[in-house]
Amino acid sequence: MRGQIEIKGRTVSELLAHRFYQQVCSHLHMFILIGDDQAHKQLPSTLFRRLLQLAISSIDHYEPWDQDSLISVAQHHLDSAQNLPLGDDTLKYPDLQASIPSVAKAMAFIHLSAASYHGHLCPELPLVTPKTFLDFLETFMLLQQQMILQMKNKAQRFNNALGNLTTIFEQHNIHIHQVSILKQEMRDSYKKLSILRQQLEHSKILHKRQLAECRQQESLIRNLTKQWDALRAQHEAFLEQMGKAFLGPLSQLKVTDFEELRSYRAPPESVVQVTNALCDLFHRERGWASAKQLLSTEDFYQELVFFPKEKMTDSEIINLSIALKAPGMSDAALRAVSTPAASLAAWLWAVLRHRLAQHRGLPTGLLLRQVEATLAREQAQLAHYQFQSQEILEHNLALTTQLEGIQASHSHLVESLNWSQSDQYHTWPIKAALLEPMHSWTAELQKLKRQCMTVYGDALLCSAAIVYLGPFPPLRRQELLAKWLAVCKGFQETLGPDDVAQALKQNQKSVITPPKTPLLSTCSPFSLLSLLSSESEQFQWDRDLKPRAKSARLAGLLLRSYTHYFSCRWPLVLDPSKQALNWLNPLPLEHTRYMAPVPTKGRGKGDRSQEKEDKEDEEEEDNNNEKRPKTEEQKAEEKGKEEVVDN
């Protein structure tokens, strides 16, 4: 009732203000961030009581992240991040999930050490905050993914190049093998060609020799033919004379003569002698009765005409000669007794003379037969020679055809070999020329495989350099980077700068053995320039007349890192000497879309002053390097803690 009375006693404006106050208290969330030192030193003691009276919600007390909190945040962030595939058939990468504890521990130490160095350098500026650590995490994820992709692409290019070289080697070996085969085939073809030519020449010589023998044989046959013709003409003339001598007495005989002789009952003695000689020739018995029967034979005259005079034996010739030379057998005596008997005796004399003449012409006939046999034999030999000559000629034609085919094949082989050797490809030292790049690319591929095992450590240190090393001078950068490298190798390091124990360790002569199991593997020697840049980019900077000092190049790389585009905070650049324009102009094309165009006003003056400052920076860095002991780098390598950053 009392509250209602109080509400009724208020005005409308007061009621509206009260309702508005209630709405604000129920919906408004106000965060008032007050540090501990501010609460104790600068603010009044009654401030927290008044704030509690105004607030209707709980009060949270925020404290800076310690190492365990940083490790927890890093592990949670890395667990929820999307990772690339671990590797392919060529490159094998360590598992990020298995490396998360080591990465988170190293990140926490790097963040705390950077915060300690920043607090020592400039405690008034919040250069290292939780957002910086979140940027560190994002930068690490971006860089490790970029490094993995770059190594994959580079390995793919190397594998493609090595595959192309292998293909070239195989093609070269195939070409060399083909050339050697062509040479061997050409040698075989030349050898076969020489053999065929020799065979053809030998066959031609045989053919010429055979033709000479044929001509000699033909000449011999011509001579034998002439001799045979002469002997045959002589023999035929002799036979013709004998025939005429035989046919003359035969023509004197008449059929009536035989009838007249048969009419004798008791012929005279001389007639009986003639008929007895006739019976002896016809192999009949002697006597008139037998002779009369012989004379009475039909066609007796034809038998006389075709009497086989050549078949008469020597005894028959002798008996006939004796009978014809007997007394009373002369032609006159017989004609005186009987003319038919004289004609028949004349025929007997013709037979005897024919046979005797034939006997005298026997050597000529024998010689004629010998000449005929020799002529036939020589003609057969000539035919054999001609047949052999024809065979040799056909063999020569076959050899000529085969030789032409082999010559065409040989010419084709020579043309193919000349075409294969036209550009002297087979004599190029292609293996020697490509052996060096093949070895270098293989070495680069092996180097990439080693870098794959250190990709997370390298990406972690590069990310830390990009996020934390910007505000520091070169010496502090080297000092911090050396500490981070030592932590990755497993050493226990202090967070703050200017550590006396660290200086004592550097002056120790004993070699400090690094732990067997490093926290994170890193490449050795470690170089930010080689990891964040490339040789081609460095050459381009040389052509663009960028500063050559390593500290300036490192500062330019930290400034130009594309990871700033994904950062939670805008980068703060203090550039009194205007060197940033030289590094930021021009940016790579793929990065210019994230930034506004760089102003070009006053660039000429800035460039001239910048060259002077670059020279001073280089001289100062060289002087600092000369003042260092020569054994400092050697000690750093032996201790495994301080490696030269800008190799």
> Tokens representing 409?
């094949």
State the pLDDT at residue 521: 86
205 pLDDT band, cuts 50/70/90, is: very high
**What pLDDT sits at residue 627?**
40
Return the higher-pLDDT residue of 245 and 144: 144
Q: Which residue has the higher pLDDT, 47 or 532?
A: 532
Contact 94, 453 (CB under 8 A): yes
| Ranges assigned E (strand) in 368-474 | none
Q: 49 is written with which tokens?
A: 């009581």
Residue 612 pLDDT: 41
Q: Are 525 and 644 in contact (CB under 8 A)?
A: yes
Residue 233 — φ and ψ, nearest 5°?
A: -65, -40
Per-residue pLDDT, averaged over 371-387, amounts to: 89
* Average pLDDT estimate for 175-185: 83
Query: What mean pLDDT is predicted for residues 523-550?
Result: 86
The whole-number average pLDDT for the span 465-484 is 87
Angle at 245 between CA 239 and CA 246, to 5 degrees: 90
For the CA atoms of the chain, what is the radius of gyration? 71
- Least confident among 43-47, 62-66, 424-428, 578-582: 424-428
Calculate the CA 622 to chain-centre distance: 55
Query: What's the rounded Cα separation, in Å, for the pair 177 and 321?
Result: 104
Percent of the chain with pLDDT over 70: 74
| Per-residue confidence band for 90, with pLDDT thresholds at 50, 70 and 90 | low
DSSP 8-state class, residue 310: G
Angle at alpha carbon of residue 187, lines to 185 and 189, rounded to 5° = 65
Residue 644's pLDDT is what?
Answer: 28
Least confident of 249-263, 331-345, 528-542, 610-624: 610-624
Which two tokens mark 375? 């002529």
Mean pLDDT of the chain: 75
Residues shown for the chain = 647
Tokens 């919600």 label which residue?
57
Higher-scoring residue by pLDDT: 549, 81: 549
Q: Which amino acid would we find at residue 140?
A: F
Q: What confidence category does residue 59 fall into, taking pLDDT thresholds of 50, 70 and 90?
A: low
Q: Which of 205-214, 295-304, 324-333, 618-627 has the lowest mean pLDDT?
A: 618-627
Output DSSP code: residue 88: -
Output the six-digit token pair for 281. Answer: 């020739």
Which is more confident, 582 or 498? 582
The predicted-structure confidence for 439-458, as pLDDT tens digits, reads as follows 888 888 888 888 888 888 89
Distance CA(378)–CA(357), nearest Å, equals 31
pLDDT greater at residue 503 or residue 525:
525
| pLDDT value, residue 614 | 45
pLDDT band at 126; cut points 50, 70, 90: confident
Q: Kindly list the distances between the CA atom of residue 119 and the CA atoms of 38, 126, 297, 376, in Å, as whole numbers in the listed order.
A: 18, 9, 178, 139
